[in-house]
């Protein structure tokens, strides 16, 4: 294969991960020009390109060296690693990305009780994830038959082809519609950045490290807020205890008023009106809450 000097990322062409993945890359400063067939996006400004494919194909493309990184569900990555030990052993989850949350779960008919994995002995379990299901069954010493289905797993019990299912669950509405209920969670999943456990030693490795730093900066502050306020030095201990997440604030003395300071703090998560009102009662004034777009340590 001809060496490449540009980093190539595989991501889902269409689906629930597509839009948030594109937004994340945009916040990392990446811009792309899409090809006519809408399968390839050429990076403008940075030597990073996108390949738009089916999510199930992403781990294989990374393993084969066609792509260097991929944005894919943790469930898809782990399934590939378990089902393809020879090629999947070199792949790793480089970063959790914080969107696309779901879980791979065992589900049973609503009227069937569930106490422990052992009651699945001898059962037929339909799934699109035989590797993950088989690994979970072995870890619990359960001897059950894995019935592989490429799709429409939830209707297997009604068709009589399985006694239970193992499928992705988000809201649970699909299970309820098919008279099923969630019994056990196998994998908590979300979108992850996947790649080789060892980054390329050429220019692509340097570009990947740059991208990882930008991702860390975006993810770290994605739900953060910057709080600015003025207060007297005497009120600082009480105010600091009320800051969401208990960050270490930065203080700047107000010119001409040695007992007055401007306080700046980066707080994880949202800041409620009640929290602001509590800090005001503790002595804060002129408070501002600002969103944070980027941070580079």
CATH of the domain at 286: 3.30.70.120
For residue 139, being part of any structural domain is answered with yes
CATH of the domain at 15: 3.40.190.10
Q: What is the 3-state secondary structure (H, E, C) of 238-252?
A: HHHHHCCCCCCCEEE
For residue 2, being part of any structural domain is answered with no
For residue 252, being part of any structural domain is answered with yes
18-27 and 203-221 are packed helices; what angle lies between their axes, rounded to 10 degrees? 100
For residue 296, being part of any structural domain is answered with no
Do 266 and 137 share a domain, yes or no?
no
What are the pLDDT digits (tens) for 38-67?
889 999 989 999 999 999 999 999 999 999
Examine the fold and report which residue of 221, 239, 274 is the final residue of a domain before the chain moves on.
221
| Pairwise CA distance, residues 186 & 206, whole Å | 36
| Pairwise CA distance, residues 223 & 174, whole Å | 30
Q: What is the mean pLDDT of residues 142-161?
A: 94
| Complete edge-to-edge strand list for the sheet that includes strand 250-254 | 250-254, 257-268, 224-232, 285-291
For residue 40, being part of any structural domain is answered with yes
* Per-residue pLDDT at 2 exceeds 60: no
For residue 147, being part of any structural domain is answered with yes
Do 74 and 11 share a domain, yes or no?
yes
Distance of CA 294 to the CA centre of its chain: 18
For residue 1, being part of any structural domain is answered with no
Contact 167, 128 (CB under 8 A): yes
Contact 296, 27 (CB under 8 A): no
Angle at 193 between CA 125 and CA 10, to 5 degrees: 90
Quick one: pLDDT band at residue 232, thresholds 50, 70, 90? Answer: very high
Do 150 and 185 share a domain, yes or no?
yes
In this structure, the dihedral spanned by the alpha carbons of residues 142, 147, 148 and 149, taken in order and rounded to 10 degrees, is -130
pLDDT for position 273: 93
Do 231 and 258 share a domain, yes or no?
yes
Q: Domains in the chain: how many in total?
A: 3
Q: Which domain holds residue 237?
A: 224-291
For residue 141, being part of any structural domain is answered with yes
Residue whose token pair is 């289905």: 149
Share of the chain above pLDDT 70, in %: 99
Do 82 and 213 share a domain, yes or no?
yes
Compute the 3-state secondary structure of the chain and give helix, strand, coil in percent, each to the nearest 5: 35, 35, 35
């Amino acid at each position: 294969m001809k060496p490449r000097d540009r980093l190539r990322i595989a991501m889902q062409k269409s689906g629930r991960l597509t839009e948030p993945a594109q937004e994340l890359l945009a916040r990392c400063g990446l811009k792309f020009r899409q090809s006519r067939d809408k399968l390839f996006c050429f990076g403008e400004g940075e030597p990073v390109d996108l390949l738009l494919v089916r999510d199930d194909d992403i781990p294989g493309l990374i393993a084969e060296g066609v792509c260097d990184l991929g944005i894919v569900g943790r469930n898809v990555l782990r399934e590939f690693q378990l089902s393809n030990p020879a090629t999947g052993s070199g792949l790793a989850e480089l970063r959790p990305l914080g969107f696309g949350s779901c879980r791979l779960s065992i589900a049973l008919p609503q009227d069937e009780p569930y106490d422990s994995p052992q009651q699945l002995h001898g059962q037929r379990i339909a799934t699109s994830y035989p590797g993950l299901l088989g690994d979970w069954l072995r870890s619990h010493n359960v001897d059950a038959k894995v019935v592989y289905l490429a799709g429409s797993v939830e209707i297997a019990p009604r068709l009589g082809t399985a006694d239970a299912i193992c499928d992705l669950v988000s809201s649970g509405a699909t299970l309820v519609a098919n008279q099923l209920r969630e019994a056990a969670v196998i994998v908590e999943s979300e979108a992850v950045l996947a790649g080789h456990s060892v980054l390329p030693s050429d220019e692509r490795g340097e570009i990947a490290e740059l991208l990882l730093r930008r991702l860390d900066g975006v993810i770290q502050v994605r739900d953060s807020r910057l709080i600015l306020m003025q207060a007297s030095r005497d009120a600082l201990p009480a105010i600091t205890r009320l800051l969401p997440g208990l960050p270490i604030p930065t203080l700047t003395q107000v010119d001409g008023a040695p007992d007055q300071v401007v306080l700046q703090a980066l707080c994880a998560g949202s800041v409620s009106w009640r929290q602001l009102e509590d800090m005001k009662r503790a002595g804060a004034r002129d408070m501002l809450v600002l969103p944070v777009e980027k941070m580079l340590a």
